Structure 1
Amino acid sequence: MIKLIISDLDGTLLHNSRHIKPEDQAALHNALASGITVSFASGRMHPEIVHVSNRLGLSAHAVSQNGAFVHTKDHEIILQDIFETSLVRQLAQAAEGTSIYTLLNGPDYYVTTVMNEGYAAIEANLLAPLRVMPHAVEALGSELMCCKVSYQGEMEHLLAFKQELLSTHGDKIDAYISDVRCMDVMPRHVSKGAGIQTLLSYSGIRADETICIGDSFNDISMFGTIPNSFAMSTSHPEVQANAAYVVDSVAEAIAWALQTNAGNIDTKAKHT
């Protein structure tokens, strides 16, 4: 019996940062009407997840910032985690002198030390505020609590930068491509999978009573936690290889859940 649906946002439910397919929205409401609980798990912040939930007209649990925070659908916080101060200060300055843009992630807003055309373009795709804080590096650990650092730029530059960061801080961080022009860096012990385990413990729902849907490398830990895992057919082959099934849409994965609950598991989902 499937009791919980967990969906990633960007590249899974959200397309081009904002568009939600009508069939996916209808499928989520059908799931809720059948008694299934909904949660979103995203690299985005909790206010951004709430924004998406409000657009959909539903209440959902939220695993935000790749598992750094977990909120219930009633906005009760049940998990929060942040970087160690000396480490995040190094990460905040690591891309200086390159073409890569750095966003520091507070609990409810993004931070940059400067504003220019590049950051203005990034801001257009955010659903939470972007604040300019020239003294942000000095404020880390006190005025500014940071749980994720996002780097944005050309993919080839991000991949090279990823290797540089891992060679220096690899025992303390996880770094993965989370979108076409974005790399997220988290404390090593923080992940969507760990955040989801906290949510399952809180809700009393088992992993095998859950499905999860995602499309990127930050979803692999989620796939490792939930046996009924679905990767989007547009995702990287390595991401698909870590999921139990491959689907073309959120609606298709939800159809699998509803048919499973009805005793009919003859679906179109492709097993990896």
Structure 2
Amino acid sequence: MKDDSLASLAGKHFILATDLDGTFLGGSDEDRRALYDWIEENRHSIGLIFVTGRDPQFIRGLCDGGVPWPQFVIGDVGTTIAEVTADKNIEPIADLEHEIASLWNDSGEKVRAALDGHPGLTLQPTDFRYRVSYDLDPGAFDRAAIDTVDEMGLDHLISDNRYFDVLPRGVSKGPSLKRFVSYMGVSPQRVLAAGDTLNDLSMIECGLPAVVVGGAEQALIDRVSTLPNVHTADAVGAAGILEAVRAFDLHETP
């Protein structure tokens, strides 16, 4: 049973939908503590969603170590959409994952076989449910892998010039976040999307108020800097999130 006091976003004045590495986890210890304390002190009015390439196991360890627990997780680069229960389990939302599973169509083995030994790609050991992920060596990478993925009816995503993800067609952070916001009946203008690398591109450009935090990948900044819904922060990581909350006047800040 979910903890309605945590899981419901309907009554929240402001909702932060944030990437983790380099964004929510970025910046100085002091900046992170300021952001985390502000969220904990305002749980009645602030909702928190992690939108990340990380998997639920990583998130559990992170939050058990002192990072604020989110109410929901859009993980695995948008291929997991889950709620955090009262006993701190991260449970997929079946209504939202059914389409993702259908689009993936158990393609993991097919992808691994097609890209086995491909130049510049090293398979990551985690067995994700609806994606296959590789470490990328840009100097050795052969872009024929992109054609191979496209021919399978799937999407590829290169981020930070060192990761290569194979995803269900049309599924990534942005589309999953927009579907989630619609499903929850939340006003999009109360949601701030925050990120720092190209795997955040789809959520930064999906039309929600958004921030590219200081220290972000230059390729991401170049792609979104002219969009009217995007604030390009000077402050790094966690401090950049608070900078954007002020810039958009989404909530009172410290």
Q: Same fold (TM over 0.5)?
A: yes
Partner of 2:105: 84
Q: Counterpart of 1:201 in structure 2: which amino acid?
A: S
Q: Deviations over 1:173-223 (max 9, x none)?
A: 222223453211111121111221233134332221111111111211111
Q: Are 2:166 and 1:146 equivalent residues in the alignment? A: no
CA contact (8 A) 1:207 1:225 kept: no
Q: Deviations over 1:39-88 (max 9, x none)?
A: 11111112212322332342202111111111123234213334223x43
TM-score, normalised relative to structure 2: 0.74
- Superposition deviation, residue 22 in structure 1: 3.7
CA distance in 2, matches of 1:156, 1:235: 22
Q: Counterpart of 1:168 in structure 2: which amino acid?
A: T
Q: Are 2:181 and 1:197 equivalent residues in the alignment? A: no
Partner of 1:127: none
Q: Are 2:76 and 1:96 equivalent residues in the alignment? A: no
TM-score, normalised relative to structure 1: 0.69
Q: Are 2:148 and 1:168 equivalent residues in the alignment? A: yes
- Match of 2:73, SS state, is strand
Q: Are 2:209 and 1:221 equivalent residues in the alignment? A: no
Partner of 2:22: 11
Q: Are 2:65 and 1:55 equivalent residues in the alignment? A: yes
User: Gapped runs of 5+ residues in structure 2?
Assistant: 1-11
- Superposition deviation, residue 263 in structure 1: 7.4
Q: Counterpart of 2:105 in structure 1: which amino acid?
A: E
Q: Which residue, out of 256, 259, 262, partners 2:244?
A: 256
CA contact (8 A) 1:102 1:151 kept: yes
Q: Which residue, out of 222, 231, 246, partners 2:232?
A: 246
CA distance in 1, matches of 2:63, 2:160: 21
1:100–1:57 Cα change, 3 Å: closer
- Superposition deviation, residue 262 in structure 1: 5.4
Q: How does 1:116-155 map to 2 (within 5 A)?
A: 146-155=129-138
- Match of 1:58, SS state, is coil
Partner of 2:53: 43
Partner of 1:122: none
User: Gapped runs of 5+ residues in structure 1?
Assistant: 105-109, 112-144, 265-272
The aligned length equals: 219
Partner of 1:117: none
- Superposition deviation, residue 92 in structure 1: 0.4
CA contact (8 A) 1:166 1:173 kept: no
1:38–1:97 Cα change, 3 Å: closer
1:234–1:252 Cα change, 3 Å: closer
- Match of 1:170, SS state, is helix
- Match of 2:65, SS state, is helix
CA distance in 1, matches of 2:219, 2:187: 26
